[in-house]
Amino acid sequence: MAAILKIAFLVAALMGIASATDGGDISEYYSAATFSCCRNNGWDFVIVRSYCSFGGRDNNAPATLAQAEAAGIPYRDVYHFPCMNKISAAQQVADDYDGVAGKFGMMWFDIETNPSPGCGYTGSAAENCNFLGDLISAGHSHGIHMGIYASEYMWSSIMGGCTVGAANGISLWYAHYDGARTFSDFRGFGGWSKPAMKQYNDGVGICGINADADWYA
């Protein structure tokens, strides 16, 4: 993300400016024309899938990020859908980073049930938590600015009482499809008492784009 929320975080921290911005997350390629439409409908950011649940790069990500940049979307992030067991945390983060280095601002680890064969989480929250810790360590080794995406339900089901994300100062993007652009519904989990971003709807309903609706404040 040529610096999506990374820049927004720094601006807010250094200048004390409160802001709220709209955007969406996607798992498909879209053209600059589509992103231009989204921009005209209020998008300030997009989060593009860069690593797939089966344990490999999303090869569309670099071109998609370039199209979003060409359309004037100011902030561009990526999300990484981890594959546990089939490929090491260090290797998958390295592979992902190599594919999109210099094209994004933040990388968000997508914590939810993985349907791909051989890539699912174990029944042990402790083992899953350790794996996430390994992803975070790998991200740090590449100098990646990281975040974590999860719903309260998915986090408790997969990670249990794990607090490795919050303990490492990793920002939270949470999912709750109530259609509301507010954090008033947030209930703390995983050690986080405050989120950075919310996925509030599973469809944005604009420009023919298949995207979830997100709000950052």
Q: What is the pLDDT of residues 162-205, one digit of tens each?
A: 999 999 999 999 999 999 999 999 999 999 999 999 999 999 99
Nearest to 75, CA basis, from 214, 192, 175, 182 = 214
Q: Can you tell me the distance from the alpha carbon of 217 to that of 174, in angstroms, rounded to the nearest whole number?
A: 13
For the segment 38-82, what is each residue's pLDDT rounded down to a tens digit? 999 999 999 999 999 999 999 999 999 999 999 999 999 999 999
Q: Cα dist. 35→43, 64, 68, 101, 185 in Å?
A: 9, 10, 6, 21, 30
Contact 170, 146 (CB under 8 A): yes
Query: Rounded mean pLDDT of 88-114?
Result: 98
pLDDT at 4 over 60: no
Which of the residues are catalytic?
25, 110, 112
| Cα separation, 139 vs 137, whole angstroms | 5
Question: Predicted confidence band at 20 (pLDDT cuts at 50, 70, 90)?
Answer: confident
Secondary structure of residue 63 in the 3-state scheme: helix
Q: Give dist(CA 158, CA 137) in Å, integer.
A: 19
Query: Does residue 92 surpass a pLDDT of 90?
Result: yes
Q: What DSSP state is assigned to residue 119?
A: -
Q: How far apart are CA 17 and CA 13, in angstroms?
A: 8
- Per residue in 128-148, pLDDT tens? 999 999 999 999 999 999 999
Q: Are the C-beta atoms of residues 45 and 75 closer than 8 Å to each other?
A: yes
The rounded distance, in Å, linking the Cα atoms of 188 and 185 is: 10
Q: How far apart are CA 217 and CA 207, in angstroms?
A: 23
